[in-house]
Amino acid sequence: MTQMISCQSETDKTVLTHYMSLPQDKDAVMVEYIWVDIDGDGLRSKCQILDFIPKMASDCPQWNFGAITDFSTMRIEDLHLYPNRLFNDPFRRGNNKLLLCDVYHADGKPVRQNTRYSCAQTMKLVKDSHPWFGIEQEYLILDANGRPFGWPKNGFPRPQGPYHCGVGYNKAFGRDIVEAHLKACIYAGVKICGGNAEALPAQWEFQIGPCEGVEAGDQLWIARYILFRLTEDFHVTITLDPKPIPGDWNGSGGHTNFSTAAMREEGGLKFIEEAIEKLRKKHDEHIVLYDPNEGKDNARRLIGSHETSNIKDFCAGVENRLASVRIPRQVANEKKGYFEDRRPSSNCDPYIVCELLCKTCILD
């Protein structure tokens, strides 16, 4: 008879506290190298111990990792990590750091999935326009069984209505995770500017920005990393699926606020309206790239209800949350400011979204 070996999927975090409190010499700094997975499935990371305290990303050495680059032959290639942006590490604390990198081949060419490289090149072309971004990241917390956190085991919670910005045990599901994420991001130095409960119970949102240029994507990816890493402590998971629960429930978006210097100055509304007309002409092209599944993920979310536009149509309006692009009421009144592109999905690649907005609104 084969002996069954039980697998423990959770550890006692109080045991870890002892080891994390051990003194750490200043000449031993743990730097977590983080990169966007070339398989397109989130993030990966590994730790290198340096004998000095890095002050900026360029202080850190390049590194490498092995990855399958040809699945037909299962060929493994050494890929190289180029440091881009440095943050404080909210998990190890002290002098330890988080380091966001992007990925290159040995010959110095970016891997095909390295969308940061292309975004950075575009941002150099539009730097005189000073493009600002604010990204609203919606997500859903799931329990260990893959069910929305706090939902009844059998059946569903009350219909949507009381949950958006809700307060109370029966309205805000998973606030501990959200609070931990906000504090960890602030400690890390992430440009996070807020957060709130969303319409779907156990759905939350945090906001990144304002950031100029490629930094917006960097800040969002690190904020995502911190969120995913926190799930290991709280024994939950996070889904960025744009329509995580079928039926009469809100989906999750990655609404992106955008402006240029001209839009932010007196009379800027004229430039906002001109940009929106450019977006109208490129709607189909943007939809294909606003989620990682060539628009198929967004097709489940952008249905013309639940605070979304219809994926097939482009529309814009003041204070209209059913529009593809929304002009806030304050912007319309002051005739300057920014607009909100509500089409990007919650699992969007922020580098692609930011680059498309600049190419269409500034370079076209």
Q: Where in the chain is the domain with CATH 3.10.20.70?
A: 26-113
User: Which amino acid is located at 222 in the chain?
Assistant: I
What CATH number should be reported for the domain whose range is 26-113? 3.10.20.70
Q: Where in the chain is the domain with CATH 3.30.590.10?
A: 124-363
Superfamily for domain range 124-363? Glutamine synthetase/guanido kinase, catalytic domain (3.30.590.10)
| Number of Cβ within a 10 Å radius of residue 351 | 25
Looking at residue 2, its pLDDT comes to 40
CA distances from 133 to 127, 281, 340, 342 (A): 13, 21, 10, 13
Q: Identify which of 65, 74, 58 has the alpha carbon closest to the alpha carbon of residue 106.
A: 65
Residues 6+ apart with CB under 8 A from 259: 131, 132, 268, 272, 337, 338, 339
Looking at residue 69, its pLDDT comes to 67
Q: pTM score, two decimals?
A: 0.95
Alpha helices in the chain (DSSP H): 13-20, 115-125, 175-188, 215-234, 261-264, 269-281, 283-289, 296-301, 329-334, 350-358
Q: Distance between CA atoms of 78 and 106, rounded to whole angstroms? A: 7
What is the chain's pLDDT, residue by residue, as a tens digit (364 residues)?
344 444 456 788 889 999 999 999 988 999 999 999 987 668 999 999 999 999 999 999 999 998 876 666 777 889 999 999 999 999 999 999 999 999 999 999 999 999 999 999 999 999 999 999 999 999 999 999 999 999 998 889 999 999 999 999 999 999 999 999 999 999 999 999 999 999 999 999 999 999 999 999 999 999 999 999 999 999 999 999 999 999 999 999 999 999 999 999 999 999 999 999 999 999 999 999 999 999 999 999 999 999 999 999 999 999 999 999 999 999 999 999 999 999 999 999 999 999 999 999 999 9
Note whether 353 and 254 are within 8 A (CB).
yes
Looking at residue 198, its pLDDT comes to 97
Looking at residue 14, its pLDDT comes to 86
Q: Distance between CA atoms of 326 and 317, rounded to whole angstroms? A: 5
